[in-house]
Structure 1
Amino acid sequence: MDDERLLIRPMTLADCDRVAEIRVRGWQSAYQGLIPRSYLDAMSIERDAERHRARSAQGDGSVVDLVAQRDGEVVGWACHGPYRDGEARTADAELYALYVDPPRYGTGIGHALLREALWNRTALGHERMYLWVLKGNGRARRLYERAGFEADGTEEPFEADGVPVPEVRYVRTLNEA
């Protein structure tokens, strides 16, 4: 990875289409065999981009969207903010999403985005960061474990086209960032 050419910056409205493309293609690539094909095939870049635009317009600043840009092209996206415990927010932080353009997996982009999210939440005084990851997503789980996250034993499924898909919660103490 060439860190000098990788820029981590706040996401803008102009990035929403590319971020949606990365997210949808990321789901379709990383979650093959873990989520029903019908669910993945029904995902829409256009609907996802509109969701990003609407969320950005309604945001209160507590949720941070970051993009990784290399040679002028957005190649990754991360989103983090306060930990959501049901509908309530807690004093802890949560990494809501981390996606890299599938042809660029393994190039350090995900690590750079994660490092920036950890730094940001540490600077804001959060003590812990949580995240949820699909139980069968070995690539992502290895990334998080290399970054100091540990599964805390909490598992919860979400439903995709009537099929329960198990997720595992990870946690990391932030004063170690």
Structure 2
Amino acid sequence: MVRVREMDAADVEAVSAVRVRGWQAAYAGIVPQAYLDAMTVEDDADRRRQRLLDPGRESWDLVAVGDRGPVGWVCCGPSRGEVSGGTGPVGEVYALYVAPDLIGTGIGRRLLGEAHAAMRLRGFKGSALWVLEDNLRARRFYERAGYGPDGATQDDVYAGVTLSELRYRRAL
């Protein structure tokens, strides 16, 4: 059984391990392998510590904690882009990762539900997120959670390869 709580500084290394291993598992065959191989838990943890200490930070982080410590993580905040339509302010799920060996156990659903509840408490009426177009597993996960593409796209470059992302949205 896992519980979800706010992330604190003691969680940084474990969350970074979840994120890096999550990237390497989820994006294998999508993102160039050289990019995935270059990712390190140490570099990610350094960036995460800096973000946690930023006094102007508007995002928040939640962790799913099980018997072995943090096994999932979600980061949310105000939408980083112009989101038109809808009935009020839109939040954004910036990232959601679960330890690769625990994918499919409900931890991701639980984290997403807690993220939605936190957004509602902060007055958001909708949620957006970006997902790589070729990440069919993640797209199915978000679609089952009520998200759908809204037509917005953006490109990101990874090790010289351009990949397209789709923006997904749902009401809260």
Aligned: 1:111 with 2:85? no
Which residue of 1 is the match for residue 121 of structure 2?
123
Q: 1:26 to 1:72 in 2, by over 3 A?
A: closer
Instruction: Give the letter aligned to residue 128 of structure 1.
Output: G
What SS does the corresponding residue of 2:105 show, helix, strand or coil? coil
Instruction: Give the letter aligned to residue 124 of structure 2.
Output: H
The TM-score, its normalising length taken from structure 2, stands at: 0.93
Aligned: 1:44 with 2:44? no
Alpha-carbon shift at residue 62 of structure 1 (Å)? 2.4
Alpha-carbon distance between aligned partners in 2 of 1:138 and 1:104, rounded to the nearest angstrom = 18
Alpha-carbon shift at residue 141 of structure 1 (Å)? 1.0
- CA RMSD, Structure 1 to Structure 2 (Å): 1.4
Alpha-carbon shift at residue 91 of structure 1 (Å)? 3.2
8 A Cα contact 2:65 2:71, kept in partner: yes
| Corresponding residue pairs, total | 167
8 A Cα contact 2:51 2:57, kept in partner: no
Which residue of 2 is the match for residue 137 of structure 1?
135
Which residue of 1 is the match for residue 150 of structure 2?
152
Alpha-carbon distance between aligned partners in 1 of 2:15 and 2:168, rounded to the nearest angstrom = 24
Which consecutive unaligned segments of at least 5 residues does structure 2 have? Answer: 83-87
Report % sequence identity.
47
8 A Cα contact 2:155 2:162, kept in partner: yes
The TM-score, its normalising length taken from structure 1, stands at: 0.90
Which residue of 2 is the match for residue 92 of structure 1?
90
Q: 1:43 to 1:118 in 2, by over 3 A?
A: same
Correspondences of 1:6-45 after superposition (within 5 Å): 6-45=2-41
8 A Cα contact 2:64 2:72, kept in partner: yes
Which one is further off, 155-164 or 90-99?
A: 90-99
Alpha-carbon distance between aligned partners in 1 of 2:116 and 2:23, rounded to the nearest angstrom = 23
Instruction: Give the letter aligned to residue 92 of structure 2.
Output: E
Alpha-carbon distance between aligned partners in 1 of 2:55 and 2:127, rounded to the nearest angstrom = 20
Alpha-carbon distance between aligned partners in 2 of 1:141 and 1:126, rounded to the nearest angstrom = 22
Instruction: Give the letter aligned to residue 77 of structure 2.
Output: G
Picking from 159, 168, 171, the partner of 1:170 is 168
